[in-house]
Every structure is written in structure tokens, then in C-alpha cells.
Amino acid sequence: MILCAKTIITGDGETVLKDAAVMTDESGKIQKVRGKDEIIQACPNEKVIDYGEATIFPGMFDMHCHLGYWYSQPDSFNYNDQMIMMYALQHAQAAFTKGITSVRDCYSPEGVCKTLKLAEEKGFITIPRITHVNAGMCMTGGHCWDEVIEVDGPWAIRKEIRRQVRDGAEWVKILTSHRSHIPEYTQEELEAAVDECHRRGIKCVVHAGTHPSIQMCIDAGFDTIEHGTFLTVEQARQMKKKGIAWTPTIMAYTYLYEVCKKNIEEGNANVFNDPVAAKEQRDYAYYEPAYKAYRDNFKKLYDTGVTVCTGSDMVMYGSPVLPIQQELNYMVEYGITPVQAIQTATSNPAKVLGKEKELGLIREGFTADITVVDGDLSEDIKNIYNVHTVYLNGRKVYDEGVRYV
């Protein structure tokens, strides 16, 4: 099959091809990436789909989602294990409508993602590629203590990591800051977590947004830092040197700022159906400086060369589902190019997940996870909303408003 378009963004942050085409095979691999006329003439018997003025680029990654996050539902009392699985499946498959073909789940209820992947392996469902933690860990009374596992002390943390690895965790997540500058885990505990993960051959992600927790996590050597809201340029340089990636989740904090601000202005700051939103409203004073930090510093941090990945982290009731498109819009608004932004959602995440030789690029030999949007995405990031068609492993899973799963 030959897919043609006016523009192809390869995903490497630089390369844009014009009047080009991608040929895929029955195994779901990309066989050729050439000029449109060259491929069609060389392979006259192949089916050709010409998307005209559209843009072809790699299927995107959401590197910080919570597929099974049911805690914010107003009728959470209805969410038994079966309902949670249905909720997670709906979120997973909705990814295709956004052009997302891979996700990293940064905690759902234990067993949810493992079960989704097993169902996919058995052919029961079609879902994006999932990489997942089993359950987050915080100190007693720490951030999200009522949603994750409370663990204290280096050896207790090591034991919990061993349990999670035994039970199928592919990454481990630690939470060590909330909305204040008081660190939660100690340096000894953070270093124990990283050492145990790396000793067992898996990577670890950490929730850290404030000082000194960010620096403590850099020193400990986590593989990715989530949020890093008040990250400094010097810290970003340290992260680049140590190979630590950054998932800023700009959209999540901007959304919280805007929602909380609107609630105050409209006199609704004490009226909620969503228990999570009620908690977030109490932290409104944090969100305005957080929003401004991303707005004012993102380009300077990006320019250090730190590996940046897109992540949505959207969990409030009624919030957009997996809003990676808006995340990319903010990145461009704050100073980088559309082509650079696409790299944060494609080849950068693939590299962080150790999939850089098979996913994240439009390149010969790579897996045919492909997104097509109407318009020239290399010139206008807003075209990211115009999702036309999505292919997973060369198979069409979304096309012109219709989900094929």
C-alpha cells in the first residue's frame, strides 16, 4: 500500500518531505519512503491512497496518561472492577481519534493496563501500544496517597519495586512533591528506588515539580521527570548530560489554572461534583505561577537540548481526553517550531521507551504507525486537530471520524 501526501514530517525534528509517499507491506512495516512519482512508477501494482494536501507523520505518543483513572467520577461508587476496565478501554481507544498510537500509563489501578494488553494479545480488542507502571508510590501521606501505594524507607521501597516487577510492571513511578517546596521522599529513598529499578533492568519515572525535589531527583538519576514545573535552565542542562528526559505536561497545569480561575470569577469555587477538582481548587495559588513558569521558560529549557516528551496527565471529570494536540500547540506558542514539537510526540518518546529502532519515525524498516492530518502541519500546528486517518501496525484504526475498533 502506498500513502501519498503533499507533506511528510519524518519525526526527527528536522526533515520535511514534499510530494512524497510511504509504502507499507502486509507485515505492517514501512518499506519505502520516496518521492510520490518515484514510488508509484516503481510499484505499479500497489494500492495507492492519495491524501492530497495533507501531512503524513508518525503515530504520536502520550507519555503521561492515566487510562483507568476513575477517582474523579461523580458517581465513583458505581465503578467496580468491571466498570473501571470499560472506562480504561474507552480512553485507550479514544487515543486513535487524536492521532495517538502509543501511550505510557503513569498509573492506573493495579492490573488494568496488564489486562488490557493481555486482551489485545488474545485478539479481543485493538488498543494503542501501552507501556505502564503498576501503581505509583508515595511516602505516607504524600502526594496522591489515597490513590497510590504508601511506602516509607529505602528497603521498603526496594521490596515494593520487587513486588511490582514480579507482577508485571514495565516502569516504576515515584511521587515526591506536591504543591509546596517541602520534599517528600528523602535523598536516600529516591536513590534506593532508582538503584533497585536499574538493577532489575527497568526504568523509573518521578513526579517532581518544585524545589528542592527536582534537584534531588536529578541527583538520584531517574529516567524521566514529570512536570518539572519550576525546572531551571541549569537543571535542564544537568538532565541532558545525565540522559534524563522531561515530560512537562503544560496542558494539565494550564487547564487547572484556567478552570480554577474561572470558578473563582463565577463564584463556583466551593461547588463541585468532582472530588479531585475540589482538591485542585484549594491549590489555585500554585497554578498561576505554574502556568507562568511554563509560558516564560519552556523555550529556554528546550534550547538546552534536554529530551522533551509530550504527556497529557488529564484526570479531572469533564476534562479533554488525552489532549496531546493542545500540548503541542502550547509548545509552539511558547517558541518552538511545529516540526520540533512533533518530535516531542514521536521519536523522542520512542527513544525514552527504548523503541527508537522501530517506532517514532517515518523511515524504512520501521513499524507503520502513521497519522494523517489535513493541511500542512509543518507550517501550522493547529492542523494537528484535523486528524484524517490513523494506522496502527499498517492497519487502519481511524478514518474520517470513524473508529475501526
CA distance 224 to 204: 7
Confidence of residue 374 (pLDDT cuts 50, 70, 90): very high
Q: Cell numbers at residue 233, please?
A: 535552565
Asked if pLDDT for residue 135 goes beyond 80, the answer is yes
pLDDT of 271 reads 65
For the stretch 62-116, pLDDT in tens is 999 999 999 888 888 999 999 999 999 999 999 999 999 999 999 999 999 999 9
Domains by residue range for the chain, with CATH: 2-58+361-403 (2.30.40.10), 60-352 (3.20.20.140)
For the stretch 11-54, pLDDT in tens is 999 999 999 999 999 999 999 999 999 999 999 999 999 999 99
Is residue 130 within 8 Å of 392, Cβ to Cβ?
no
Confidence of residue 281 (pLDDT cuts 50, 70, 90): confident
Q: What is the largest CA-CA distance in the chain?
A: 66
pLDDT of 272 reads 65
Q: Which amino acid is at 216?
A: M
pLDDT of 276 reads 76
CA distance 321 to 317: 10
- Backbone phi and psi for residue 98, each to the nearest 5 degrees, phi listed first: -100, 0
Q: Is the pTM of this model over 0.85?
A: yes
Q: Cell numbers at residue 166, please?
A: 514480579
Asked if pLDDT for residue 273 goes beyond 70, the answer is no
Q: How far out from the chain centre does Cα 248 lie?
A: 10
CA distance 397 to 405: 6
Cα separations in angstroms, 45 against 4, 123, 390: 15, 30, 23
Asked if pLDDT for residue 187 goes beyond 70, the answer is yes
Confidence of residue 361 (pLDDT cuts 50, 70, 90): very high
Q: Cell numbers at residue 390, please?
A: 490513523
Contacts of 26 (CB under 8 A, 6+ apart): 394
